[in-house]
Structure 1
Amino acid sequence: MDKPCKPEYISRTITEYGICYTFNSPSSQDPPTSLTVTEPGVNKALSLLFNIEQYDYMPGPENDAGIKIFLHNDYKKPRMSDLGFAVVAGMHTLIGIKQIDIS
């Protein structure tokens, strides 16, 4: 079932790449909660649409147009320079992930 993304699901952090938007951050919600899915599949997935606004880009470590995605622990600051993966602007991209718990 589709649910709209509410502004309270997103927090902002400044990184070396500029503004980082974190989805589903406990610090962005009051009370802290986590949004989860219980089944795999595209129809159960998180779907995002980004307006890249390349004309507003500022000089930084990369001059590419697109976004960088980094999956991280809820309470850790994103380290965008050495982790994550890039998604080019103007393309449709599907990304599959699987959580592996290491003890």
Structure 2
Amino acid sequence: MMKKQIDTALKLRRWVTIGHHIPGRVRLKYKLGVLAHLAAFNRTDIEQALQDFPAFKQYKINNATGSLLIEYDANIVQPSLIDALFAESDQDAEQACYALAACLER
């Protein structure tokens, strides 16, 4: 099951860049093309999935600026994994995604 979510995250990451990142808080800038991909997902299901992970404190979508602000517990999720997830290297991003999944499953 987790493999499917990881594959989806890796596909969606090409539509997203880090606007700024400090440990515990990351602003992701997204391109409008991602909205077409996200339309297939039920927002309630996404929100419920995020609530299931204690590492996620809160998030806020700002459609006016095309950004998503995520606050997370930097004691659970290593900030370097967030940076690696959005690295240019697909291999680095895939490794980071699996490492993030392992952190979140604890």
TM bucket (normalised to shorter chain) is 0.3 to 0.5
1 or 2 for the larger relative contact order (CA 8 Å, sep ≥6)? Answer: 2
Rg comparison, structure with higher value: 1
Q: TM-score, normalised by structure 1?
A: 0.32
| Structure with more strand by fraction | 2
| Structure with more helix by fraction | 2
Q: TM-score, normalised by structure 2?
A: 0.32
